[in-house]
Structure formats: structure tokens, C-alpha cells
Amino acid sequence: MAELHEGLRRTPIYGRHVALGARIVPFAGWEMPVQYSGILDEVRAVRSGSGLFDVSHMGRVEITGADSPTFLNRLFSSDVLELRTGRARYGVICTEGGGIVDDCILYRLAEHRFMLVPNASNTPAVLEWIYRWVVARDDVRISDLTDSTSMVAVQGPGAEDLLADLTSLDLSKLRLFRARETTVGGNNVLLARTGYTGEDGFEIMPPSSNVVALWDFLIDGGATPCGLGARDVLRLEAGLLLHGNDIDSTTNPYEAGMDRFIDPDREGYVAGGALQGIRNGSLRRVLVGFTMVGRGIARHGFPILDGNEQIGVVSSGSYSPTLDTNIGLGYVPTAFSAPETRFQIDVRGRAVEAEVTKLPFYSRS
């Protein structure tokens, strides 16, 4: 296995993962924990208590300068000028053709200061894309803070209580998709009520020099360490998309059902023309959620069938421990997208019945 891991990066928390008995896998250029006690245990911890994720491999890009709002408004999928300070917004970064470079969360930290968090594997592509749109007269500075800062997510119904002991910020006043610069365990951090699990929770960005102490505080407070395996199951149950699986440069945000994150009608938005065209046309295919009716687990890349004919492809699939059923996402012709529509999944040569399910599969009460 040694050669597999060559040249991979490690987050500052790597040593803790190993000490906690995590199974380490290569992921997006990093050596990351895929599981500690077991994926099912970890999913349960997040749905019923609190789970802790090292998500330092994700990108952190700071954009500052007097022109930073108008600059980002040309690149981000929704209106950045209207995004108020202290708020975060989920969206996508599209090419001029409407293909998805990445999905990101954009945080407005001040009038002229933003933090953009892209996926680990796409951070170089996002950086390259946004640098391309800087023009000399712009007062815009782009800083890649992926190394100097780190990021952990504490997620679950117990997350607020756990974190409340470590910060003076009144967390009950920090609403969903709000962010504050504050202290946690005595360390300066960016604290946001965001996540990728479908549960309440927080994402915390401290300087890298302090992240191990923060991790230890949260573990000592009772959070269950969780790996990428649980994270993938949790996000799928919550109907959240994964770039590289469900969306990529060959998919557009409308067929992926991301309409509510897209505002193409803005002056200067580089993908505006293409996205208006897609919005005003008719979609050839759409992303749907489905539940397996027959026995079998759908996986990324499996064909979707209507009888003998392939009509689509699975983009994500897993067993769902929370629902105790097998679920998935996939692209199908719009005629097959209504809830309860049946089709089959080709599970290694076996046609297994599946049924369209309205997303999300799981939402917290």
C-alpha cells in the first residue's frame, strides 16, 4: 500500500486519526480517515448525538479588496452583492458554458472580505478559474489559506451543547448559514452553522497551528470521530450532491435540481447567458432520488434501465442506515422523474427494481 500513498498530503490532525485507530485512505490527494469505529456507528452518532469530522482537506480561499463583491458576483451562482456580512451561501461555480467547476460555500466575513470553501479535489481548478477572471484594474486579492488554516465539522443534534461549553458566543443566536469570527477553546476561529450531513451542526476554521487542540477539546467533550465513509452516507441521505459523482463539468445545475441556488439574471455573471439558455429550454435529463425496491445496492456508474433499454446512470448509491433501505441518485429522462416512477438498476448484470423518491430521503425533525 505504501506506493499508493506517496506524495499525498496529511492534515495537521493526521496523527490523531491514526491514534484513534482510523482506517486511512487516499482521497483527493490527501490521506484521510474513511472510518474509525465503523461507518454505521458513526452515522448513528451524527443522527443522534454529535460527530466530529476533519475536513481540513477542503479548500479555503480568502478573497479581499474593494472590488471583491463585484468580482465574486461575476463567478458565483447567486447574488453576492446581496449576501450580507456574517452569512454564508451554498452555490456553484460554472464555466461560461454552464458546466459545474465545483460546488462551494461562500462566506461573507466583512464588506470586502469573503471565504470560499471548494471541494478538496477541485481547489486547484477553482483557484485557476477565479484567477482567470481577475483584471488588472480590479482591487481583488486572492489568498489560498488551505495550508495556514484547518477545518473541522461538528455535526448532530448534540453539536450545539457540545460547542456551547467552548465558546462565549451565544450559539442559539447563530442561525443556519450564519458565520462569526469568535473563539472556541481560546482559539480564534471562523465558526459557521453549516455542514454536509443533514443535521444541525457547525464548521470551524482555526489556524492550522491550533486545530489539534480544538480537535482534542471536541473529542474530550464527547464527539464521535467520523470519517469520509459516514460523511458520504449522511450527505446522500440528506439529498446533498457530491461533485465528481452527482455533478461535474458535464452536468448543468438545472438538470441537477439546483435551481434555487442559481440566479443567472445578473449583470456580468460569466455563466449567465448559458444558464439562461438552459433554464429557458427543456431539460433532456434530470437528477432524481430513488429507493431500491428489489434487493441490491446501486453504485456510482450503474446503468438505469427501462426494461431492456438504458435510460440513465446512477451517480451515487448506498445503504442508508437511518432509513434501513438502499437509496441512490441518478440521471434519468424527465419522463421518468415523477415520484413513484419505476425503473431498474443494472446491479452487475441483475436488473433490480427501483422507485423515484422525492428528495431529501432524510430530513431532521
Partner 1 sequence: MNPSDLVYSEEHEWVRVESDGIAAVGITEFAAGELGDVVFVELPELDSEVTQFGQFGEVESVKAVSELYSPVSGKVVERNESVVEKPELVNESPFESGWLVKVALSDLAELDKLMTAEQYDTHLAREQ
Contact between 39 and partner 1 by CB under 8 A: the answer reads: yes
Q: Nearest CA to 75 among 57, 95, 61?
A: 95
Give how far Cα 114 sits from Cα of 82, 149, 168, Å.
13, 15, 24
- 24 binds partner 1 per the rule CB under 8 A: no
Determine if 351 is a binding residue for partner 1 (CB under 8 A): no
Instruction: Provide the grid cell at 142.
Output: 486572492
Q: How far is the CB of 319 from partner 1 (least distance, A)?
A: 4
Residue 344 contacts partner 1 per CB under 8 A: no
318 interacts with partner 1 by CB under 8 A:
yes
Asked whether 118 and 126 are in contact (CB, 8 A), the reply is yes
- Chain centroid to CA 100: how far? 14
Residues 6+ apart with CB under 8 A from 7: none
| Binding span for partner 1 by CB under 8 A among 13-21, 38-46, 175-183, 193-201 | 38-46
In the list 88, 214, 223, 233, the residue contacting partner 1 (rule: CB under 8 A) is: 233
Q: Where do we find the cell 479588496?
A: 65
Helices 39-48 and 228-237 cross at an angle (nearest 10°) of 50
Nearer to partner 1, 212 or 297 (CB): 297
Nearer to partner 1, 27 or 177 (CB): 27
Cβ proximity to partner 1: between 62 and 199 the closer is 199
Does residue 51 bind partner 1 (CB under 8 A)? no
Residue 35 in contact with partner 1, rule: CB under 8 A: yes
Residue closer to partner 1 by CB (options 264, 317) is 317
Stretch that binds partner 1, among 39-47, 190-198, 210-218, 307-315 (CB under 8 A): 39-47
CA atoms lying within 13 Å on the CB side of residue 341: 17
* Binding footprint of partner 1, residue count (CB under 8 A): 19
Strands (E), 111-166: 113-117, 141-144, 152-155
Q: Is position 225 an interface residue for partner 1 (rule: CB under 8 A)?
A: no
Q: Does 140 bind partner 1 (CB under 8 A)?
A: no
Place of cell 458576483: 73
326 belongs to the binding site for partner 1 (CB under 8 A): yes
169 lines the binding site for partner 1 (CB under 8 A): no
Among 38, 222, 277, 301, binds partner 1 (CB under 8 A): 38
CB-based contacts of 220, cutoff 8 Å, min separation 6: none
Closest CB to partner 1 among residues 23, 342: 23
What's the min distance (Å) between Cβ of 30 and partner 1?
17
The b-or-e profile of 191-220 (16+ CB within 10 A means b, else e) is bbbbbbbbbbbbbbbbebebbbebbebbee
Q: List residues binding partner 1 (CB under 8 A).
A: 23, 34-35, 38-41, 229, 232-233, 295-297, 299, 318-319, 321, 326, 348
